[in-house]
A and B are shown apart, each in its own frame.
Chain A
Amino acid sequence: MAKIITPGPSGYVPTPAVFEGVQITPPGKALLYGEWVDEETAMREAALAMLTRKNPTIFPGPLVLWGYNASAIEKAQAVLELAKEIPNCRIIPMPDYRPKYPKINPEAEINPNHPNLTILHNRIEACIFVGVHCHYANLSLRMIRAGTNCFTIALCAEMGHEDAMVSIRDVHAEKILELRDMVIKVREELGIKWEPKLPPENPSLPKEHFETLNIADYGDYAYLLHPRKGETVEETE
């Protein structure tokens, strides 16, 4: 099989897969290296990548991280089930899509405006995107292929992603669990011993103590929060 879309780095200006003639699959089919295959073949290759490449990581997007409806919550549970079965897997979230000032902590999150930073910092060589809106997933997948050697897997609730090495479409909780089963199967075939276990917690930013934050912490600007004694303020409650 001709592999059109393979792990990068593909260069300074990545050519989008669509420009190379890769097309989104019809329902029931999946994309593997830019070619149409059946879902099982694609899932097997995805499982193999997550089991054999370094620092496998799941990047859940807003549609999984935020429990805005029953299906999102169910999907989130399935993602955790999948994560448990991948040895030494990590979960690094993409909570939103906006550039963030001053910068993200690449160990704590991934941002679609510079996903390569998280991949390179953590030396991630296989990853799964799930619950990310297609536009932002495509931006990320292309940037990752441009500058890293990461094997990308897209679990898409819609039509799929040409720029991922593996793209499976119409993915909801059920299909994520199918992938989990495939991971277990391939893992056993490879003879990898692993007890299901949740990935480590987010090694996040230092804790900010809002409970104990004091008015004095605002320095000169404290005045703006509390008017000086004796100062009369008209027209307020």
Chain B
Amino acid sequence: MGLEYVKISPGFEKYMPKDYVDLVKYGQFGKQIDVQQIDQIKELVEEHPMCAGCYMAYFVRIFYASLPKPEDTIVLGTAGCARLALSQAAVPFIYGNYGDTNAVASGLKRALSIRFPDKIKDVVVVAGDGGLMDIGFGMTMHSWFRREKFTTIMVDNEVYGNTGGQESGMSPKGVQLKMAPKGKKFDKINAVELAKTAGCVYVAKLAPTNPKRIAKTIKRAILAARELGPTFIHVYTSCNIEYSIPTERVLADAKEREKNDFGFYEWMTDEAKEYLEEQEKKMAEAKT
């Protein structure tokens, strides 16, 4: 609807808690911010209960700072660590049931398209490896087969962190975790190739070492989903608790994984490429 619903009623500015006043005044609603401005703006997510040194928490923060249109964005999550931070942000968040994100997002996006055919309403799923590739696998894949117009971001910590460290389909082969006391017997699921095969128009894989590139990737995925079809980003967000990564080594670990199996990868259809180039040109022109 524009920004009216994030404006304080006249006369009530002095009765609002400070954090809301600041959010309206210094927040990113209605603004196009560069992720490097994160130190100058009031972020959509401030405090969260995730573990110290959690890399997923960092990614979630960058994610919110990268939204192209936060005032018209709805985020969906499911059980797991990410929702602890996702649910503390200043944009609508839906927490449904176990692994249902991509089915709920399908219904939601269709309802919004029916009701607001001429408005931008971005729907973004941010769920874990367990939510998207194990329990919600069928719904994830089918939302792609149906070419539902929303973005799916998998925050892959290679473990069920929130329930105490069990093996997931995305855990690397051989890793010893709970429910895999003799080590995992099969390979990490190749989510990126699945996404490509299933019909995503934009697919990326990254380790969050470069905030500008993360922001650009997220923006691209959301823009392409608006017009063209499903988009998918696979992000490595280590669990420093279950994988015993000392807090000061979390960044180094991400860089190491980037060198090995999480090198930046981006793939898109020709149509998406053309569309994004056009959009990015427009955005660049608007800036200058």
Contacts and interface: CB of A to CB of B under 8 A. Distances in A.
Direct contact of A and B (CB under 8 A): yes
Interface of A: 60, 64-69, 72-73, 76-77, 80, 91-93, 95, 98-102, 105, 108-109, 199, 201-202, 204-208, 210-211, 213-215, 217-218, 220-221, 223-227, 233-237
B8 A67 contact: yes
Contact of B17 (A101, A202, A220, A234): A202
Contact of A65 (B4, B8, B84, B211): B8
Contacts, number: 129
Given A72-B9, A202-B17, A225-B39, A236 B212 contact: yes
B216 A235 contact: yes
Nearest to A212: B40
Given A201-B14, A205-B17, A225-B39, A233 B212 contact: yes
B88 A101 contact: yes
A91 B17 CA distance: 11
A14 to B, nearest CB: 26
Given A67-B7, A214-B39, A224 B216 contact: no
Given A76-B11, A93-B16, A101 B47 contact: yes
Contact of B10 (A73, A101, A214, A237): A73
A108 B21 CA distance: 12
B16 A227 contact: no
Given A227-B210, A235-B266, A236-B213, A95 B9 contact: no
Contacts of A213: 39-40
A60 B14 CA distance: 13
B11 A77 contact: yes
A221 B53 CA distance: 10
Given A210-B40, A233-B212, A202 B16 contact: yes
Contacts of B213: 233-236
A153 to B, nearest CB: 18
A38 to B, nearest CB: 30
Nearest to A81: B11
Interface in B102-118: none
B251 interface: yes
Contacts of B216: 235-237
A231 to B, nearest CB: 9
Contacts of A202: 14-18
B243 interface: no
Interface in B33-88: 35-36, 38-42, 47-49, 58, 62, 84, 87-88
Given A101-B88, A204-B17, A208-B18, A237 B9 contact: no
A76 B13 CA distance: 11
A76 B10 contact: yes
Nearest to A75: B9
Most buried by B among A76, A93, A227, A237: A237
B36 A67 contact: no
A68 B4 CA distance: 5
Given A67-B10, A236-B216, 13 more contacts: A66-B5, A69-B4, A76-B9, A95-B16, A202-B17, A204-B18, A208-B19, A210-B22, A210-B26, A224-B251, A225-B35, A237-B212, A237-B284
Nearest to A207: B18
A225 B225 CA distance: 27
A215 B9 contact: no
Nearest to B45: A101
A102 B47 contact: yes
Contacts of B38: 225
A236 B7 CA distance: 33
B286 interface: no
B15 A221 contact: no
B17 to A, nearest CB: 4
B248 interface: yes
B236 to A, nearest CB: 14
A28 B8 CA distance: 31
Nearest to B38: A225
B36 A225 contact: yes
A217 B10 CA distance: 34
Nearest to B20: A95
Most buried by B among A102, A224, A227: A224
B194 interface: no
A109 B210 CA distance: 38
14 contacts: A64-B9, A65-B8, A65-B9, A66-B8, A67-B9, A68-B5, A80-B12, A93-B17, A102-B49, A201-B14, A202-B16, A206-B18, A235-B213, A237-B212
Nearest to A74: B9
